[in-house]
Each structure stands twice: as C-alpha cells, then as structure tokens.
A = this chain, B = another copy of it.
C-alpha cells in the first residue's frame, strides 16, 4: 500500500523538526518534502544531524504532497495556508492564524488584519479531545497553542459540568523550547538557567484560545481567566496549575468530593487515548517526548477550590504530536498511529 505523502513548511523551527522526528516513525505516512528559509538547498541532516536518516533536502517549495504541516510563525503562515487550501491540499497549521473564530481578535492579539475571515469559520480547532468529529472531516485544522492544550484539557470537564465559578486562575510553567529556536536573550543559556520568571503580564496571546474553547463547553457561563505563563529552566514540558472556586453544592465537602471529581474527569476522557487522569500529582517528565496529557484534578477543602494540574510535552502534545494526531483523523487512520512511543525517562 502506498503511504500518504506529507510535507512540512519551515521544518527548521522546533515544531518542524519534531514533526520530522515523529513522521519518521509513522507507519502510514511518509515525510516527502520539507522547506526552510535561510537553509534552502542544504541536506536536512547537515542542519539537524539527528535527522540524517531522513535523507531529505530542504527545498524552496513543497511538491507532490497530500497533506501539509505549516510550521511558519503567525502572520506568515496564513498566506501560505490559504494558497494551499485553495489548491485543495489538506493542511494542519501549527501557527495561530486559524485558531480564533473572531477575526476581530487578530489585530489586537497578533497585530495583523486577518486576510480571509471567512476561512476562520471553516477551520477546525484541532484539539481532538473536544472536536474529533469535525477534525475527521476537515481540510484545514488549526493546531492549538501549547499553553491552551494544557489549560483547556485541565479545565474542560469541570467547565462542561458547571462545577466551577467563571473566575479562573491559570498558572503555567513552561520549558524554554516553547520560546522557539530564534535567538533571544530570554532563551540565552546563561540567562535562562537557574532562573524562573513570569512574563506576558499584560496578556499572553494564548489567552483568547483558552477562553474561546472553554466558553463553547458551557453556554451559561463566560469564563474570566487570569493566565500567567512562566519560563523555567528545562528544555521541554509545560505544567499548568488551574484554580477556580467550586460552585455551591456541586461536590461533596469531603474526600467523597474528590472521588466524584476524579470520576467526572475519568468519564470525560474515557475514550481519549492521549489523556490520562492520574491519582498522583503528575510530572512533566512522564510525558517527555510523547503525546500524553496527564491531568490530575483535586480539591483544596480550605478554600473550596478546584485545583487541576496538567502536564504535557510542549513540542509533542503541545505542537507536533497533536498535529499528527489531527493528521491521523483527517486521513481516517486510528488516532494513535505513529504516536505510541512511551515517554523517555529519566
């Protein structure tokens, strides 16, 4: 049987090389063509020695592919994606350019006017745990941001069940690879090592995604989210701690409440192969290099507060792995194809 041919635009980003790694182990899809920018014409394995087995050359343009991943930055991705879409290709866009349903959010959050607002309605937000049926039939999937993936999966069951008040705190801790491969002082080794800092205190671009998706889960309530991301000295991983007041009468006031809560989360994620509801406080290390999201909901009885912790690998479930999960659905393959490898520990 012929393998499906996939291409990656801008393979030289961290999401791009991670896509290449994961596609290499995919049994039904072949990475057939990749593009870069400054590195056009070079062998992929010369720029990224760990990809030498792939034997690909970085091209100026994709050719002969059935499905495309765009790993371009926001604003640059949209024109490429539109053009591919119009030519009939299936596209998974890793950038933010088709994630928000409201075109009016792009100028304020991303600093550009969206070129094809009508396509925003057609694009599907690629969080399979929420939108699997739509993804299955989509031609354009907007792959979620890394923070939203962890935050939405932490909160979705509670929001949908109406367990919590709308006022939510989301405190996220991310490894440095989330800042990308572009050289910046904040990701300079000697600055980032032995340091932790909060950033984007005026509002991070991933916030509107989180609000958009949680709002859809519960028509009666618009969440008001305070989201503070932090950079911590590790390469991969995001741990999100979410806090919200439990609505009166929604959960038993003792350990029985925790059991009810755990059951509710277990039920919500019953057939979701990449979400595991844990009994213990989870570690990002247990997702290193694989596509799992670990979710641990609990209750702080002093404050009648829901506390939910989620862990992902920001480059896998937070980017390239989720993109392949979406691709699998778009191609009619089992969701887990090529994504079964376990986390690399320790």
Contact = CB atoms under 8 A, between A and B. Distances in A.
Interface string A281-298: 111111111100010001
A283 B189 contact: no
A183 B183 contact: yes
Contact of A234 (B196, B239, B305, B307): B196
A252 B260 CA distance: 41
Interface residues of A, number: 80
Contacts of A236: 194, 346
A42 interface: no
Contact of A226 (B25, B191, B283, B303): B303
Contact of A294 (B49, B177, B201): B49
Nearest to A343: B50
Contact of A49 (B196, B283, B309): B283
A184 B181 contact: no
Interface of A: 14, 17, 21, 24-25, 48-53, 167, 169, 171, 173, 175-177, 181, 183-185, 187-199, 201, 203, 224-226, 228, 230, 232-237, 239, 241, 243, 245, 276, 278, 280-290, 294, 298, 300, 302-303, 305, 307, 309, 340-346
